Structures are given as structure tokens and as C-alpha cells.
Amino acid sequence: MNEASARAVVLVQAIESADAARGLLGDTERVEAGEAAARELGKSATLDAWIARRAALVLAKLNRGNPVLDALAHARLNWGVAATVSIIAAFVAGVGAARIGPSQRINLLAPPLAALLLWNLAVYVLLAWVRARSWIRPLRRPPHRLRTRIATLAAAVAGGWRRKVPAGPLAEACASFAVQWTRLALPIAERRAACLLHVGAATVAAGAIAALYVRGLALEYLAVWQSTFLDAPQVAALLHAVLAPGAFVTGLAVPGATELARIGPQGAGENAARWIHLYAGTLLAVVIAPRLVLAALAWIGASRAARRFPLPADAPYFRRLARAFRSGTSHVRVAPYSFDVPSRSRTGLEAALTRALETPIDCTWEEPAGYGDDPQREAGADAPGDTIALFNLSATPEIENHVAFAAALAGRGDGAAAPVVVVDTSEFAVRFRGDAKRVAEREAAWRSAFESVAIAPIFVRLAAPDLDAAATSLAAALGHDRS
């Protein structure tokens, strides 16, 4: 999954998590989005492709009433523009850093490019230390403060912190998305920020070199050296060490002690052209080339991560999506015992199952078993999918009838799992409205009756169910995690 698709997925995750009341997107609409994505992608679809396409379909539906979501889903910092501005600013800074006083004399021991060289060497030492530290103590991620600040700023801009959305679940979702996306995108943004910093450092050096050469066309620079503590042989040794990369790049030899004694500290100096070439070559070898290599590595790492964006697959939301993708349509057989299920209760149970399983539901309703009939005969033949034994709380539970019927359902086929026992409280709750004690006593009687077969009944007012509570109980009973 690429970065753009992952962004849409995280936004949909935030919306679906915040929309507990299903005011923005109902259970059926969520399931239909998954079905449509599966149809479009076909049987060869991967989980990542399915999740990404499902998110796109959800956003397309929500965008009709909330166009701000489209902007939020696609908002991102334009790194190309940021890089262009940074390169121009860095080049100007480099030009300014290479300014030489009116005497036009370059001190070989303190040239205008020395600070630039030392700064980059210090950065390399710091980067090497950070990398070594990460190898020695991998569990503690070393800080990159400047990169992190740039990356956080970029992620905040891309996260749409200041987008105006109506108060309510959508505003909560957008705020949650901004936090989640900033956290998830920070590693990629850090790599891009690192690339930007390396390119900027290389550009500063290039600007300084360019400034010296351009000014040298109209002005004559003189190379001199002065030192209170060093003599010519020591200066020659020092310059040979510092300018060795430049000598290798340019092919120019670093002058020895004799020549250095002639140009300073008492000498009049010499034309600084070869020294500018040597320092420019040194900056090219020590600053520009390594920085560009580091920038390329950072950009390659960011591009690779952007093409395969890492989402937290172990998060409950993605585990549920993965289960829905693998399951396809969930087949559920409902076997009522000794009562005709009203249409409202049927609709309520199917709605609770849809929310619990988060998949299309193929619900098969068996003919109600008669009271006192042979449980083995009424249980019917084995069938694929989950089985729900549906009872009415108005009935008094009997082990030889109700419990035996549930036990018979468990024995339909080899290795069949025990059915989920659901007790519809709709009729009883209406009859004894306000008598909570009576309802609690009847529920306790049902629990006690089913203790012998180690089944915990689920009590739901199917005519007007609390879908979240019912879905949580059903999901747990059916072996599905909704945490």
C-alpha cells in the first residue's frame, strides 16, 4: 500500500472509530463498501489492495456531504517546492559565507571555507555516533531533533490541522486522524527532512565555492598565512592533511614548507588560485559528494517506505478488516424454539450480527421448533456457518426442552461447535416494563439452566436492540474480537 492510499485508510479508520452512533456511515454501508471493493478487485485481490479500495469507496460516499474530507485525504506538503526554496536559500547563504574582507587576502590557516568544512565534519561524527548508538541500544531510538521538528511541521501541514469541519463525530475523527497520521508518517517525513538538510548543506558549499570563483574573475585574491605557534614545516604538514582530498580531486600538489615560508608569515603572499582550487576540491570531496550520497540514501529510503507504507496490522481495526476480507459472506443459521419471531426482532438480530461480524450476512431462518418436540429431530441437518439458538424470555427455561434443543444443535455434525444462545427479551420487557427485578430473576433462571452445558445465554431486546452491546456479546460468543 502506498502513502496516498494509507492516508485515506487512516482517515477512514478515524471516521469509523469516531462514528460510534453510525451517523456518518451505517453498518450496512460499511459492509457494502467492502463488498464493492471485493467485486472490483476480483479474486486475485490482496488484503492491502482491498483495504485501500474500500477506504477510497467510503471516502467517495462521504465526500458528497463533506467535501472537506477530500482535501484532508489528499493534503500533503509539496516537498518539491520545499526543496526548491531550501536550495535557493542555501545557495544564497553559501555565497554570503564566502565573503572576504577588502584586503582580498586569504589566510590559509583560517580560510572563509574552514567553518563550513569543520561544521560538516562535526555532523559526520554526530551521525556516526547516532548510528553506532542505535546499533548498540536498538530499543531506544536516538533523537534527530532538527529532522524531527521539520518532519513534524511537514506532517502537521499534511495532516490538515487547521481544516474547518462541523462539530461532532466528523470533527473528532479529523482531530484523531491528524494525530494518528502525524505519528505514522513521521518516519518518512524524517527521511525527507534529512534529504532536505543534506542537499541544503551541499548547496551551501556549492554556493561558497561559486562565490569565490566568480569574485576571483574580477578580483585578485592573495594567499598568506600567519601563526603565533606554527612554523612553515608544521603549517605544511597541517595543510597536506587538510587539503589531501582536494589534491586528489584536482591533481594539484599542496606546496611544501619552502614555498609556504616564502608566502608567509613575512612574505607578500601569492596568487590564491591554486589554493582556491585545492579548498574547492576538498569541499567537493568532503562536503558536497558525501552530502549528496546521504541525501540520495535518505530519499531512496523515504520513497521505498512511501511505496510500501507500514500500517499497524496488529491494531484491532485492521485485524477486523483482515478477518472480514478472509471471511467474505458470513453464514448464520438461526433456529428459534417455540415462538414465531416477529419481523422487527429478525431485523434487529441481523443488524446486530452485521455489526458484530462486519461482513455481509447470509442469515437462514429455520422454522420454529415446537415446544416438547423431539430435540434431535427438530435440530435438523448439519449446515455450514454459525448457529444461533433463539429463545423467548417469556418462556420458563427447562433443561429437558430448551437446553436439550441447544445441545441437539451442537450435535448436528462431527466437531460442531456449541450454538450461540440468544434470548429475545422484547416481549417480556414490554409486559413487565418497570419491573427490573422480575426481568433480572427470569434472566438468572436462564443462566442457571444453561450452566449444565457451559453456555452463557445472550439477552437482547431484538425489537429495539442496543446494537453496540449486542454486537460485542455476539462477536465474543462467535469468536470474533471487536476490541
Mean pLDDT of the chain: 86
DSSP 84-134: HHHHHHHHHHHHHHT---TT-EEETTS-TTHHHHHHHHHHHHHHHHHHHHH
| Cα 29 from chain centre | 24
Confidence tier at 413 by pLDDT (50, 70, 90): very low
Tell the residue number behind the cell numbers 559565507, with chain if given: 97
CA–centroid distance for 455 within its chain = 40
What is this structure's pTM?
0.78
- The mean per-residue pLDDT over the stretch 53-75 comes to 81
Q: Which of 226-230, 372-376, 457-461 has the highest mean pLDDT?
A: 457-461
Q: Determine which of 363-367, 392-396, 478-482 has the lowest per-residue pLDDT on average.
A: 478-482
Euclidean distance between the first and the last CA atom of the chain, given in angstroms as a whole number:
24
User: H helices of 312-342, where?
Assistant: 316-327
DSSP state of 369: B
pLDDT at 43 > cutoff 60: yes
The pLDDT value recorded for residue 201 is 96
Q: For residue range 351-388, what is the model confidence (pLDDT) as tens digits?
A: 999 999 888 899 999 999 888 776 665 555 555 678 99
Query: Residue 417, SS3?
Result: coil
Region of residue 59 (left: phi > 0; alpha: psi -120 to 50; beta: else): alpha
Torsion angles phi and psi, residue 331, rounded to 5? -100, 125
Rounded Cα–Cα distance for residues 457 and 221 (Å): 94
Spell out the domains of the chain, with CATH numbers in brackets: 80-150+208-307 (no CATH), 329-477 (3.40.50)
Burial class (CB in 10 A: 0-12, 13-18, 19+), 393: buried
